[in-house]
Structure 1
Amino acid sequence: MRKLVALALALVAAFVFAPGPLAAVGPGHGLGDPQRLGTALRGAFADSWNAGRRSPELTRVVDYWLRYHLVKAVIAALLLAVLVAIALRLRHWAAASAVAGAGLLALATVMANVQGAIAPFSSLLPMLLEGPDAEHGVLAQVRRELAAGGPGRPLLRSMVGDFARYHEAMAVIAALVAIGLVTVSVVLWRRFAATRAAVFAALGAVTALASLAVLVIVVANTGTANDPAPALAALFDGGW
């Protein structure tokens, strides 16, 4: 048990400190610093917007962000596996429930980072609002074209399509997770019926409630994926 706890703590530390440096190896050199990443993103996006297509620099930033999410997803998945192993070894229901809660947080982190890896450009968009151009210039043009509701320039159409894919990805991921959680809950309740061990009842309840929450995520993301433009406009207006 001690080795598993130590491994879990090591993975938490790796999740915090490792993704940036690892993703910045090679073509992502210099992007591991959040401030540099934001500056590079805003500059590359402005150049791409004015040129009407994605620039090589914006592609470099997006590729870095994809690798960043992949690293985080792998580490979070390993942490989830370790937390599940710990929870199954505990015999006190309160401790097992606490570890299960941490496991659900790790699961949510895996889901979010897989989504970010599938549509890294959309995952980067909130960073555009953090710079000095948050109210003027290029972003103001983006807001006007989104408000106009027309087809817009090619880059804007690409952004709307990517935003739809971003939410489609989460809808599919969450649906698969919901099926998995329901299956696990059924198994745990059967274990409880056979053993009368309170720990199985506690874990079964946690996973059942989590499956309901994940179903809400499925519905919300499906709706946004079917009509992404208003949600994208809300993002640029600071409402997401």
Structure 2
Amino acid sequence: MALIAAFVIAPRTLAARTSGSGFDDEQDLAGSFRRAFAGYWSSGDREFSPGLERVVDHWFHYHVAKGVIATILLVVLVALGILLWKAFLGATGDETNGRAVLASAGVLVTVLALLSLAAVMANIQGATAPFASLLPMLGTGTGAGAGAGGQSPTDTFDQVRQRLADSLSTDGPSSPVLDVMISDFARYHVVMVVLSGIVAVLLIGLSVMSLRKAAGTRLSDRRTRRVLRSYGVLSAALALVLAVVAVANTTTAADPAPPLLALFEGGW
């Protein structure tokens, strides 16, 4: 519970300290990003402006902090889950209520572990491509302030969308800033392809190991066979889901411009 609370509360403070830049809340961060991006877009330069660099650096440290906490939480939950399931399997026949409590706790911890794994993957992705992970913020509250070049975030948002649409329809040259956006957007999805592939392979291995152990367990030990088979089937199903995620992200990474345009038209 302490780690879950830390995952929610601590990253913003840690990011402010490690990056040397602080924001009051996510709304302040989003507003700063929109204004900095408006100036960056107006400049036409590939290099980030100081204001945009400050926001991107903060976002990188934020994801690193969340990723580290989520990893620690995942390790703790896996260890706790192993202890709970061992206790469940070792409970005697006259401990029906105790077994039910242990089984419920084991299921809860398993679900939390899966959520922690998803958080680890998402934050590795965000830390690897922090600029791309900030882009959805451009579509929220675009009426705030003007950028360094005197251009409002709303105008910038519309111009980016129009430039993307033009580059796709005419296959013409794009701006240096747009090139950076597209390449970072592609990197963002490549990272998820790699992560999904690695985790899917590990889950397949876990599934095979669990099902083999279930097959080698005594027929009289139904409880152990049931738990092992459940984990084997769950691991295989999750591996299949991650394979679909990997394929979807591969498609996006191979041709990132149309999905990026979809993002600016209201999708992700």
**Cα distance between partner residues in 1 of 2:173 and 2:24:** 35
Moved more, 102-111 or 195-204: 195-204
Moved more, 105-114 or 201-210: 201-210
Q: Aligned with 1:175: secondary structure?
A: helix
Paired residue for 1:138? 156
1:220 aligns with 2:248: yes
**Cα distance between partner residues in 2 of 1:139 and 1:95:** 47
Q: CA 1:24–1:46 in 2, change beyond 3 Å: closer, same or farther?
A: same
- 1:179-221 CA distance string (max 9 Å, x none): 1111112222233233340222222222111111110100000
**Cα distance between partner residues in 1 of 2:263 and 2:143:** 15
Moved more, 91-100 or 75-84: 91-100
Q: Aligned with 1:18: secondary structure?
A: helix
TM-score by length of 1: 0.91
**Cα distance between partner residues in 1 of 2:108 and 2:59:** 32
Q: CA 1:28–1:130 in 2, change beyond 3 Å: closer, same or farther?
A: farther
Determine which structure has more spread, i.e. the larger CA radius of gyration: 2
Q: How large is the Cα RMSD of the aligned pairs?
A: 1.7
Paired residue for 1:46? 38
Tell me by how many angstroms 1:109 deviates. 0.8
Q: Is the Cα–Cα contact under 8 Å of residues 184 and 204 in structure 1 kept in the other structure?
A: yes
Q: Is the Cα–Cα contact under 8 Å of residues 34 and 142 in structure 2 kept in the other structure?
A: no
1:59 aligns with 2:81: no
Paired residue for 2:186? 164
Aligned residue-pair number: 232
TM-score by length of 2: 0.82
Moved more, 159-168 or 130-139: 130-139
Q: Is the Cα–Cα contact under 8 Å of residues 182 and 211 in structure 1 kept in the other structure?
A: yes
Aligned ranges 1:44-193 → 2 under 5 Å:
44-53=36-45, 54-89=48-83, 90=85, 91=88, 95-133=105-143, 136-149=154-167, 150-193=172-215
- Give the letter aligned to residue 55 of structure 2: V
Tell me by how many angstroms 1:95 deviates. 4.1
Structure 1 stretches of 5 or more lacking a match?
1-8
Tell me by how many angstroms 1:26 deviates. 4.9
Among the aligned pairs, what percent are the same residue?
49
Q: Is the Cα–Cα contact under 8 Å of residues 93 and 202 in structure 1 kept in the other structure?
A: no
